[in-house]
């Protein structure tokens, strides 16, 4: 039986380090999505991650206007230095551009800021008020910071990306403690790991992702199609859970 796949975790644009087999063109991304059977994707721009969000976000806006099946994700950061809009301005711009999901890259290796209230509190307050899904890689935030974020902003949907296959001893207790924590599937590749997680937590907080262009989308699709789970659970993971989250955004 066929599914609709909605990729929650991919990017586009040239990176400072080129990986063999990766790509940077939106045309290639859309072609690969069609080849793999992925109907839609949330996409952020590599410039927003590797250089500066205020430069990369307009680039993704331009790209998604050309493709009906790509939806924009902005990379956001605190506003205190004047480099980035304050939350009141930011939310209006997001509404105007149709942006319903964001990412952060706060690590010292990327954009180097604190997630504590004095720094990012007003940003997270705004995201929580409008239930805007927040995507973040575990390497960017760390387990202690994700615990604090989930605890302080209990109505903010937080999607943890690129967790790897050895993260269960963190993921299980966190997902039991916080109903606003979601994970994406691209690097969660332990043997029967999703089946075991669904048996304990349920399937409502698991989102399909590919991590394209760094990784192939074909394996990500194959993994979900062949899960030893009921059809209804596979459909939720493939697209239903993400569609529900985006429908709950108050913009």
Query: Residue 159: which residues within 8 A CB-CB, separation 6 or more?
Result: 8, 133, 134, 135, 136, 182, 183, 184, 207
Is 32 inside a domain boundary? Answer: yes
Is 249 inside a domain boundary? Answer: no
Helix axes 193-201, 168-177, angle to 10 degrees: 20
Q: How far apart are the first and last CA of the chain?
A: 34
| Domain interval for residue 226 | 5-238
Residue-wise pLDDT tens digits, 134-193: 999 999 999 999 999 999 999 999 999 999 888 999 999 999 999 999 999 999 988 899
Residue-wise pLDDT tens digits, 101-113: 999 999 999 999 9
* Distance, CA of 228 to CA of 226 (rounded, Å): 6
Is 250 inside a domain boundary? Answer: no
The answer, yes or no, to whether residue 15 has pLDDT greater than 90, is no
* Residue 165: predicted pLDDT: 83
Is 21 inside a domain boundary? Answer: yes
More confident residue, 19 or 157: 157
Contact 227, 191 (CB under 8 A): no
Q: Is cis: bond before 195, omega within 30 of 0?
A: no
* Distance, CA of 242 to CA of 248 (rounded, Å): 10
Residue-wise pLDDT tens digits, 37-58: 999 999 999 999 999 999 999 9
Query: Residue 108: which residues within 8 A CB-CB, separation 6 or more?
Result: none
Name the domain count of the chain: 1
The answer, yes or no, to whether residue 1 has pLDDT greater than 80, is no
Is 11 inside a domain boundary? Answer: yes
Helices and strands counted in the chain (H then E): 12, 9
Is 243 inside a domain boundary? Answer: no
Please give the sequence-ordered ranges of beta strands (E in DSSP) within the chain, or none if there are none.
5-12, 38-45, 70-72, 74-75, 102-103, 134-137, 158-161, 181-184, 206-207
* DSSP letter string, 89-103: HHHHHHHHHT---EE
Is 247 inside a domain boundary? Answer: no
The tokens describing 181, both together, are 């924590």
* Distance, CA of 87 to CA of 85 (rounded, Å): 6
State the pTM of this model: 0.96
Is 245 inside a domain boundary? Answer: no
Which of the 8 DSSP states describes residue 237?
I
Rounded mean pLDDT of the chain? Answer: 96
CATH of the domain at 179: 3.20.20.140
Which neighbouring-strand residues pair with 21?
Answer: none
């Amino acid at each position: 039986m066929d599914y609709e796949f909605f990729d929650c975790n991919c990017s586009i644009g040239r990176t400072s380090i080129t990986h063999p087999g990766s790509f940077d063109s939106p045309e290639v991304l859309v072609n690969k999505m069609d080849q793999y059977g992925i109907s839609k994707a949330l996409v952020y721009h590599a410039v927003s991650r590797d250089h500066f969000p205020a430069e990369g976000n307009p680039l993704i806006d331009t790209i998604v206007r050309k493709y009906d099946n790509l939806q924009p994700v902005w990379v956001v950061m605190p506003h205190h230095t004047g480099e980035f809009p304050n939350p009141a301005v930011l939310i209006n711009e997001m509404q105007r551009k149709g942006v319903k999901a964001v990412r952060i890259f706060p690590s010292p290796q990327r954009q180097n800021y604190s997630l504590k209230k004095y720094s990012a509190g007003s940003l997270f307050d705004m995201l929580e008020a409008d239930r805007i899904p927040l995507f973040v890689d575990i390497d960017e935030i760390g387990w202690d910071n994700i615990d604090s974020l989930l605890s302080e902003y209990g109505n903010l949907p937080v999607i943890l990306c690129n967790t790897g296959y050895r993260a269960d001893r963190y993921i299980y207790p966190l997902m039991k403690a916080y109903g606003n924590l979601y994970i994406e599937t691209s690097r969660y590749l332990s043997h029967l790991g999703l089946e075991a997680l669904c048996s304990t937590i349920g399937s409502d907080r698991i989102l399909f992702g590919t991590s394209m262009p760094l990784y192939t989308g074909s394996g990500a699709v194959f993994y979900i199609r062949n899960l030893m789970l009921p059809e209804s659970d596979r459909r939720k993971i493939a697209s239903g859970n993400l569609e529900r989250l985006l429908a709950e955004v108050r913009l």
